[in-house]
């Protein structure tokens, strides 16, 4: 690992840190250290870093803004690549936009709304990155990324870069081909939007933001929705009906505002959250014969 560290530092790719705690990089503020943490300063430097990582045969994974993510207390083996500044460019061409994977989804939706472009209103309260949103087909308020994405520029583990079409992304509910079949990093996304009435778009976005503030506990560190909705039923409703709102294990607590949110009520560990997830699964299955599946991505050492 020291050889890899030295080579990455000498390559001047951006920030390079060893044994970096990941809690500050997640919205739930939980997570042990990454063996090696890098934040490339450009697309070119990311590609350079990937060539070095591949040469050393070290495991890697990417993170964006750390939402919808639970990192193990024991941290992550190998390299964690954070997409941030330097990978958040934006180009607008009529009704089509090209945006970097490190761009904030909330900031993007706000900026685009002010230009009278419609299609991203649903994203006004989703606290993730564009790359992460494409990776997991993020959605809300009856829409999702699959409805607007034209293509995604993706960097794969072997260093190849390829544009994947909407069809090749194989989107389904909170899922894309990048999660299991073809692991990769979304460098850029091209979205097809529509011209609309600026005042109406801004109003719709504000309504979505207000709804989130009123119904979801973003005043506490959390990771967003914990479980996928077992359609036609809703995870939050099942958890609430089971009487689990407010239930707590260690520092992890089921929100009293929304049953599908687990908040860090104070010094919660990943093991606290995992124990609470297992308790919810067991309770809902016993009461309603419904198997709950996590939406939050759980990563790191066991």
Contacts of residue 297, defined as CB under 8 A and 6 or more positions apart, other chains included, come to 68, 69, 70, 136
Q: What is the pLDDT of residue 214?
A: 86
Coil/strand/helix, residue 292: coil
For domain 2-82, the CATH architecture is: 2-Layer Sandwich (3.30)
* Catalytic sites, residue numbers: 174, 225, 295
In a structure prediction context, what are the per-residue pLDDT tens digits for the chain, which is 302 residues long?
889 999 999 999 999 999 999 999 999 999 999 999 999 999 899 989 999 999 999 999 899 889 889 999 999 999 999 998 889 999 999 999 999 999 999 999 999 999 999 999 999 888 889 999 999 999 888 899 999 999 999 988 777 889 999 999 999 988 999 987 888 889 999 999 999 999 999 999 888 888 888 888 878 999 999 999 998 999 999 999 999 999 999 999 999 999 999 999 999 999 999 999 999 999 999 999 999 999 999 999 98
Do 2-82 and 218-290 have matching folds?
A: no
Which residue bears the tokens 């994974």? 61
Q: Which CATH number is 218-290's, of 2.60.40.10, 3.30.750.210, 3.40.630.30, 3.90.78.10?
A: 3.90.78.10
pTM over 0.75: yes
User: Which one is the CATH code of 90-200: 3.10.310.30, 3.20.20.300, 1.20.1290.10, 3.30.465.10?
Assistant: 3.30.465.10
Q: Which residues pair with 69 in a beta bridge?
A: 297
């Amino acid at each position: 690992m020291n050889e890899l560290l030295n080579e990455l530092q000498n390559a001047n790719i951006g920030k390079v840190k060893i044994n970096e705690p990941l809690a500050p990089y997640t919205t739930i503020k939980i997570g042990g250290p990454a063996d090696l943490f890098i934040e490339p300063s450009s697309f070119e430097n990311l590609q350079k870093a990937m060539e070095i990582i591949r040469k050393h045969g070290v495991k890697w994974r990417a993170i964006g803004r750390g939402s919808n993510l639970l990192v193990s207390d024991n941290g992550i083996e190998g390299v964690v690549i954070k997409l941030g500044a330097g990978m958040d460019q934006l180009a607008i061409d009529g009704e089509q936009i090209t945006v970097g994977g490190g761009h904030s989804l909330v900031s993007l939706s706000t900026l685009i709304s002010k230009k009278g472009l419609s299609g991203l209103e649903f994203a006004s309260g989703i606290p993730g990155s564009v790359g992460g949103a494409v990776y997991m087909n993020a959605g809300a308020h009856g829409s999702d990324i699959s409805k607007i994405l034209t293509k995604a520029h993706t960097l794969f583990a072997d260093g190849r870069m390829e544009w994947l079409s909407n069809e090749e992304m194989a989107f389904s509910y909170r899922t894309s081909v990048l999660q299991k079949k073809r692991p990769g990093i979304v460098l850029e996304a091209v979205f097809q939007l529509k011209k609309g009435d600026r005042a109406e778009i801004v109003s719709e976005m504000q309504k979505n933001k207000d709804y989130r503030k009123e119904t979801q506990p973003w005043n506490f560190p959390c990771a967003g929705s914990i479980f996928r909705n077992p359609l036609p039923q809703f995870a939050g409703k099942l958890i609430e009906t089971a009487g689990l709102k407010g239930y707590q294990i260690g520092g992890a607590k089921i929100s009293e505002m929304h049953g599908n949110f687990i908040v860090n009520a104070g010094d919660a560990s990943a093991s606290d959250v995992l124990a609470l997830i297992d308790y919810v699964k067991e309770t809902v299955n016993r009461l309603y014969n419904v198997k709950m599946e996590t939406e939050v991505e759980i990563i790191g050492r066991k």
